[in-house]
Structure 1
Amino acid sequence: MQLYNTLSAKERAALIEEAGQERLTISFYQYAHIGNPKILRNHLFLAWNELDVLGRIYVAYEGINAQLSVPAENFVAFKEHLDSISFLENVRLNIAIEQDNLSFLKLKVKVRNKIVADGLHDHTFDVTNKGVHVSAEEFNALIEDPDTVLVDMRNHYESEIGHFKNAITPDVDTFRDSLDIIENDLKEHKEDKKLVMYCTGGIRCEKASAYYKHKGFKNVYQLEGGIIDYTRQVQNKNLENKFIGKNFVFDHRRSERISDDVIAQCHQCGQPCDTHVNCANEACHLLFIQCDECAAKMKNCCSDHCKNINALPFEEQKKLRKGKGASNKIFKKGRSEVLKFKR
């Protein structure tokens, strides 16, 4: 049985372009109690590999989190396979607003301890005891209520390029960082305020809603389907759009534009810009915001140091990287000291 990829990303991209078939970029998640994640992982890989599914899928004892692409012609077969798995029957699928046939180039199905890392070790916490899901229309009404506190459950580099109006946007690097910060900031309002949360597709605020209920918050809500499905509902139902800027996504596209507002700035020159890039120096690979002018000037790098390294022959670059771990700047997502205009 083939339980791993046999093609490189470059080879796969060439095959996709040669085939000329439209692909759909989809995300979904489901919290559930899974007895043997490894068995489920292998089952999914075998079935989805046959359907030419590509993407990043995490399976854990607490459920599944999937971001993937599938050929449009295989979508019905893919949906039928999902429905054949009891806890995934009729699971909500978030179909991307902006499609890109190259959004994913490998099929990676991995077993993890948790589908959303939270740093929690409280065995009395039940992640399936979630808050109230609300539609886009209900969400719009809720966030106009003066007794509502709206919280963005994403990280700083996501909310920097786009967020809902009047939302609290914690300046955090990870989801686990935000849990205690938000609880501490709102501890005086566990009973008198409506706590409304949102994230990209719903997975983080669903866990957060269960966590804050566990911590004693009485009125906990989450935007069902996250920003992705909110945007679709706004378009389909002609609702007022209360999201400004771009929605950060975790594939090769990096973002989807929701409104024309540009609320961020180039991290190198300070001009209005909301385009995330990765530093061209593979030893750095820092995620940061860079405008076209700075990209040309800096050769797609975050600093002069990286620009000089990236100008070296490839073999010399490999020698410099040999024996060294990945730079921790990779995980700082725009926090590097070389960036003059970072958030």
Structure 2
Amino acid sequence: MQLYNKLSAKEREALLEEAGEDRLTLSFYQYAKIGNPDLFRNHLFIAWDQMEVLGRIYVAHEGINAQLSVPAKNFGKFKEFLDGIYFLENVRLNIAIEHDIKSFLKLKVKVRDKILADGLNDETFDVTNKGVHVDAKAFNELLEDPNTILVDMRNHYESEIGHFKGAMTPDVDTFRDSLDLIEKDIQDHKEDKNLVMYCTGGIRCEKASAYYKHKGFQKVYQLEGGIIEYARQVQNLKLENKFLGKNFVFDHRRGERISEDVISNCHQCGKPCDTHVNCANEACHLLFIQCEECAEQMSNCCSAECQDIAALPYEEQKALRKGKGNSNKIFKKGRSEVLKYKR
């Protein structure tokens, strides 16, 4: 019984290009009590592998968090499968505005301690006592209220290329880093201000809203479905779009344009740019913003040092990496001394 990927990313990419079939990029999450995450993981992998579903899925005792690419022809079957699982029936699917047949190249279903690395002890507060969910229209109205504090619950490399007008955008590397920092900044407004939060698809706000209510905030709101669903509602209902730039997404697209504004800059030359890339030196793999001109000049690398390494024959590159762990730069997305124009 196959419970793992047999094809490499390159092999899968070639097959997808050859088939040329439409695929839908989507995400969903659900907090639920899962007694045997390993068994559930295998159940998902077997079913979704047969449907040609690709993506990155985390399963834990507390629920599921999934980012997926589903063949358009199999979407009905996929939805029927989800509805057959009692805690996933009619679960909200955040379907991307832009689709790419190569948004994911493998099916990875992993068992984790948590579906979101939040660093919180869930036993210390009521995780079900969440903030008020609001749709795009109500969200826009809240933003017009002078008593609203708008907080971006994402990381620095996400908010750098796109965020809502007037939002607090914490300069953090991880979600867990943002929680205490935000509370410290707005602790004097626990009773008199509307605390309104948003993230990519909503999962971070689910936990954060309960955490802040536990900390004494009285008026807590969260954007239902996150930026992904907001963009869809704005488009379908012809609402004012208050989001500037791109929404960072965790697949091979790296970004989905919500407005034509370019609010960030190339980290190497400083010109307006909001295209995230990974350094071509696999030993570095740093995530950063790079314009087309710098990509050509630097051979898709973040530095001259990486450029020299990437130019070596593949076997020599492998020899240089042998016995070495991943560079911390991989996890310090966009933070490196070689990036002259990193904000």
Aligned-partner Cα distance in 1 for 2:188–2:244: 29
Aligned-partner Cα distance in 1 for 2:212–2:285: 35
Structure 1 stretches of 4+ with a deviation exceeding 2 A read: 124-129
Root-mean-square deviation over aligned CA pairs: 0.9
Aligned-residue offset at 1:122: 4.6
Query: 1:160 aligns to what?
Result: 160
> What SS does structure 2 have at the residue aligned with 1:33?
coil
Aligned-residue offset at 1:2: 1.3
> What SS does structure 2 have at the residue aligned with 1:334?
coil
Aligned-partner Cα distance in 1 for 2:82–2:145: 38
Aligned-residue offset at 1:273: 0.7
Aligned-partner Cα distance in 1 for 2:64–2:57: 7
Aligned-partner Cα distance in 2 for 1:129–1:5: 39
Task: For 1:215-294, list aligned pairs within 5 A.
Answer: 215-294=215-294
> What SS does structure 2 have at the residue aligned with 1:229?
helix
Query: 1:74 aligns to what?
Result: 74
Tell me, yes or no, if structure 1 residue 197 matches structure 2 residue 189. Answer: no
Aligned-residue offset at 1:62: 1.5
Query: 1:51 aligns to what?
Result: 51
Query: 1:184 aligns to what?
Result: 184
Contact 1:31 / 1:127 at 8 angstroms: preserved in 2?
A: no
Aligned-partner Cα distance in 2 for 1:137–1:39: 41
Residue-by-residue CA offset, 1:33-82 (whole Å, 9 max, x unaligned): 22221121111111111111100000112211000011101000100110
Query: 2:116 aligns to what?
Result: 116
Aligned-residue offset at 1:198: 0.3
Aligned-partner Cα distance in 2 for 1:163–1:2: 41
Query: 1:140 aligns to what?
Result: 140
> What SS does structure 1 have at the residue aligned with 2:246?
strand
Gaps of 5+ in 2: none
Aligned-partner Cα distance in 2 for 1:219–1:35: 34
> What SS does structure 2 have at the residue aligned with 1:56?
strand
Residue-by-residue CA offset, 1:166-223 (whole Å, 9 max, x unaligned): 0000000000000111111111111111110000111111111111112121111100
Query: 1:308 aligns to what?
Result: 308
Aligned-partner Cα distance in 2 for 1:239–1:122: 37
Aligned-residue offset at 1:16: 1.4
Aligned-partner Cα distance in 1 for 2:122–2:33: 16
How many corresponding residue pairs?
343
Identity of aligned residues (%): 80
Query: 2:99 aligns to what?
Result: 99
Contact 1:32 / 1:128 at 8 angstroms: preserved in 2?
A: no
Residue type of the partner of 2:17? E
> What SS does structure 1 have at the residue aligned with 2:124?
coil
Contact 1:335 / 1:342 at 8 angstroms: preserved in 2?
A: yes
